[in-house]
Chain A
Amino acid sequence: MTTAERPAASAPHGRYPTERVPAHARDLHLTDSVRSARDDARAQGGQSGEWMPYLPASGSPYRPPGVDPAALVWAETVAPGGYTHKALARGTRLRFDDPTGDACAHLLLFNALEPVERLNVADTLKIPWQAYLGENHPLLSGDGRVLAVVSDDSSGRHDAFCGTSTDAWNERKYGDARPEGPAPSGRGLFLKAAAKHGLGRRDLPPGVSFFQGVRVGADGTLGWRGSAGPGTHVELVAEMPLLVLVANVAHPLDPRPDYVVGPLRVHAWRGAPTGPDEPRFTATPELHRAYLNTVDYCEARGL
């Protein structure tokens, strides 16, 4: 398909219009020599946008309450339809904020040192005997260890059944799934995030998502519950060195015909992994043994 044949960008809709280049952008730049082009490029720095990483992270304009700015290691607002990724040290606190009630944080986790160890959603539900994610719910790998645990949750609207969207899903639902287009699929974004860490299609297992809830009916029906409204957050503790992939895309079951997703804020800061003296470590027999396995692995590796 040539550029000319592609469908025209849709008109702005909802609360999140796409960014647009001014009609006369050409007139705003003097770039007829290397020196003028350099000056023009450098003059563009220092601006802020609605969605961007904040560097250093300590300067985040949206620093979570009670967090020491000097401890921040990651601060970013992910655009609607955007993705981000980071390798995090063991013990790091990771917080997602949904400022508008329309974010949907699709998440994949890997052991950063051995990425064949990765999130296993079946074990994440089966081993805690609980289908719905909430505080103290571990995000387990297939190797019997805790990759991360939910340490705080003011939303309660999450999903571990539907995973993220695919190109086939979005093409059927929205008529478009191009990663550079108005309706990117979560899998399409995960593929790019994974590729930046040397991972590919084989390395993307089913994931979980935060901020848009799904409940299972008595007959198995997957019921959409949507978000808990603007201003909620979820916090995780990295219990192992983590590779984190995040795609902020519309939930597959979102019933709205428009592709509506809000910005997603991400913050992470230095901290300690859950220790044996904390109530969470022994909260259930399964969680206790999962932590014992996790500590065993980390101590053997000198972490």
Chain B
Amino acid sequence: MATTRTGNTPVTFPTASGGTVASTVPVGAVHAPGSPLDRGASLVEGAVVLDDTVAPNAPWSAVVRRGHVLTIVDVGGNQSADCLLYDADDPEERYSVPDTLAWQGNAYVRTGTVLRSNEGRALMTVVANEIDRQDTIGGACGKESNTLRYGHHVMFQHGCRENFLAEAGRRGLGVRDLVSNLNWFMNVPVEADGALGIVDGMSAPGRRVAVRADRDVLVLVSNCPQMNNPCNDFNPTPLRMLVVDPAAVAGGTRSAAAAGTLGGTA
């Protein structure tokens, strides 16, 4: 398949500031026009602390305070949200796949899974989940690992490791701080003979997962730009990140459900 451009003809892209720019940069694809999008609402009642939309292909980060609940909405369905967690006060203590799995004795993440640190302690807990199982063994895509998986012609495609590095840098973290991650809404079965891989997802537009912070946690997310496997159904869509404070629900502040109507279409 010929993918090499023979000319330097710019293509028009929307800009972050709301305008357009004509560019020859081969940026990643985004979802097809007309893709169904469901922005959902918080899975847990509470006062809204944060309501962000993560554009396709983009990174995101925020500190979720202890007791607050982060709902991640899979707005377009089967969009992998690659995710890393850090103790906000001591980022050298961070999410650990093996500790999370060994403590619960299971390879999949579901409601009740305690997301543990490299010191074996709880960072967050999954309090609600609308798909059968969530992944934490598939890791993140990256420019370099993509060359192993798909060939060297994909080297200049975007990847989650690039997003993690960029976003980590904004938080004073770097390559030493990247470890194996969670992949919300991604499906990685392990078969009886050990065969393992990313297959078609089990999510759908508007499906959600909710995680409660067991201490102040820095959450890093990459809205996965991968275009060579089904981790985003080959159709990168937005993610909605909703943080609520359940303790403030009775305080008369606006509810998460009400906030959900404010965002409009993504």
Contacts and interface: CB of A to CB of B under 8 A. Distances in A.
A136 to B, nearest CB: 13
Given A130-B195, A142-B161, A122 B138 contact: yes
A292 B151 CA distance: 11
Contacts of A126: 137-139, 149, 188, 196-198
A121 B97 contact: yes
Given A162-B102, A163-B102, A204-B118, A142 B145 contact: yes
A202 interface: yes
Contacts of B197: 126, 129
Interface stretch (B5-13, B54-62, B173-181): B173-181
Contacts, number: 142
Nearest to A199: B176
B109 to A, nearest CB: 9
B106 A131 contact: no
Given A126-B196, A222-B105, A289 B96 contact: no
A127 B102 contact: no
Contact of B180 (A121, A131, A145, A293): A121
Contacts of B69: none
Interface stretch (A71-79, A83-91, A164-172): A164-172
B32 interface: no
Interface stretch (A212-220, A241-249, A262-270): A212-220
The interface size bin for chain B is 35 or more
B140 interface: yes
Contacts of B137: 122, 125-126, 131, 161
Nearest to B110: A220
B27 to A, nearest CB: 22
B219 interface: no
Contacts of B98: 121, 161-164, 206-207, 252
Interface string B133-171: 100011110111111110110000000010000000000
User: Quick one: which of A164, A204, A206, A221 has the most chain B CB within 10 A?
Assistant: A206
Interface residues of A, number: 47
Contacts of A168: 119-121
A201 interface: yes
A169 B102 contact: yes
B192 interface: yes
Interface in B96-128: 96-99, 101-103, 105-108, 118-121
A122 B144 contact: no
Interface of B: 92-93, 96-99, 101-103, 105-108, 118-121, 133, 137-140, 142-149, 151-152, 161, 175-181, 188, 190, 192, 194-198
22 contacts: A116-B175, A116-B176, A120-B139, A122-B181, A125-B196, A126-B197, A129-B195, A131-B195, A142-B178, A145-B144, A163-B97, A164-B98, A166-B120, A168-B120, A187-B119, A201-B92, A206-B96, A220-B106, A220-B133, A221-B106, A222-B105, A292-B152
Sorted nearest first, the 4 A-B pairs with minimum C-beta distance are A122-B139, A163-B98, A144-B144, A168-B120
